[in-house]
Amino acid sequence: MTDKQLKQSKSQLPQGERFDRAYSAFEGGIRLISKKADGSETRYKVHFEADDNVRIERF
């Protein structure tokens, strides 16, 4: 994932969530983890689009 794609992913997070980490999943693809102020985590799948942009989907 490029810096541009990482910035795009972070900008798609809902308000109140902040980027925590990203990793390469065993099943394939990239997962993004965000945290809320209370410490709870949310996982997202990162989808790569044909135009070199990314989209995240709640997992």
Section 3-8 average pLDDT:
94
32 confidence band (pLDDT: 50, 70, 90): very high
Q: Give the pLDDT confidence score for residue 59 in this predicted structure.
A: 86
Instruction: Give the residue from 37, 38, 55 showing the smallest Cα distance to 46.
Output: 55
Whether 35 has a pLDDT exceeding 90, the answer reads: yes
Of the chain, the percentage scoring pLDDT greater than 70 comes to 100
Q: Please tell me the pTM assigned to this model.
A: 0.87
Dihedral (Cα; 5, 10, 12, 18), 10-degree rounding? 170
Task: Locate 26 and state its tokens.
Answer: 């065993």
Instruction: Give the residue from 38, 44, 39, 36 showing the smallest Cα distance to 12.
Output: 44
